[in-house]
Amino acid sequence: MTDSSSPDSLQAALQALIDELRAQSDLRAAAAILHRAALACGLTHVGVVGDVSHPDALRDAGGEALTDLLGWPRDFIAEWLERGYSAGSASMVAARLRHLPFAWPAASWPDGPPLPDGSRELAVLARLGITGGVMVPVRLPRGRFAAVNWLGPLDRAASERLTDAAGPELLLLAHYFLELVRERSDPPAAAEDLARMTARELECLTLIAKGASDAEAARALGLSERTVRFHIANATEKLGSRSRSHAVALATQLGILGSVF
């Protein structure tokens, strides 16, 4: 957020960009809209990790990288990917612990352990004048995780003010952009996506996902081991999975088991 802009004027400018992005079908044009949003916030770069399990640079339908439209020199992106920062940086660890926009950098959470040391990635970003910004974590279908990071020459206090002033708008921009990415890359819905599980099947799968044996799951649910195995076999068939462990993996990815920690 620039010194001369008010929160209301910034929100209005970002809302106009949200409307423009929602009507957009071209990925390169959509990436340019993200960068315009960054400039409206007084920022310089937008970092997009479209899927943390495949953290390569985003590309358009013709195979051209979109990073140049988001403010990044190509040699910088090559170094960033080589160092593994797209998926394993301290900032991405922080993002995995949240679901709403937050000011970056963040050293720790009030009720959690310290985050991994991010000094090396901060030093790399500082070469481009990046000292702060807003991170927007995004949960995608099928248990995937992505993030859109709005970065520039901000200190911690300015990053927090920007998060308060524009967090909801940046969240919407991130979601609409990643939905456009997803529409171009996701396969059609599969049988496991549409599986309808009974409450007992989910209970049994959840306990197995938490490491319980059949006997331990049976004691916890007041069932026989045979009945537990029956429910797990049904769940495995409904998910189209090849084994119990595959069924647990699919159900966890689909988000139907809840927390298994």
Q: What is the mean pLDDT of residues 113-142?
A: 84
User: End-to-end distance of the chain based on CA atoms, in angstroms?
Assistant: 38
73-77, 95-99, 115-119: range with lowest mean pLDDT: 115-119
**191-254: CATH, from 3.30.470.10, 3.90.1200.10, 1.10.540.10, 1.10.10.10:** 1.10.10.10
Q: Is the pTM of this model over 0.85?
A: no
Helices (H), 134-195: 156-185
Cis ω for the linkage preceding 101 (within 30 of 0): no
Share of the chain above pLDDT 90, in %: 48
The class that CATH gives domain 7-185 is: alpha beta
- The domain locations on the chain are 7-185, 191-254
Q: What is the mean pLDDT of residues 194-202?
A: 82
pLDDT at res. 111: 57
Q: Is residue 190 predicted with pLDDT exceeding 90? A: no
Helices (H) and strands (E) in the chain, counts: 11, 4
Its sign, for the CA torsion 2, 7, 13, 17, is positive
pLDDT at res. 192: 57
146-150, 173-177, 182-186, 211-215: range with lowest mean pLDDT: 182-186
Mean pLDDT for all residues in the chain: 85
Helix axes of 214-221 and 225-238: crossing angle, nearest 10 degrees? 100
Q: What is the mean pLDDT of residues 139-163?
A: 90
pLDDT at res. 225: 94
Q: Among residues 163, 17, 26, 10, which one has the least CA distance to residue 100?
A: 163
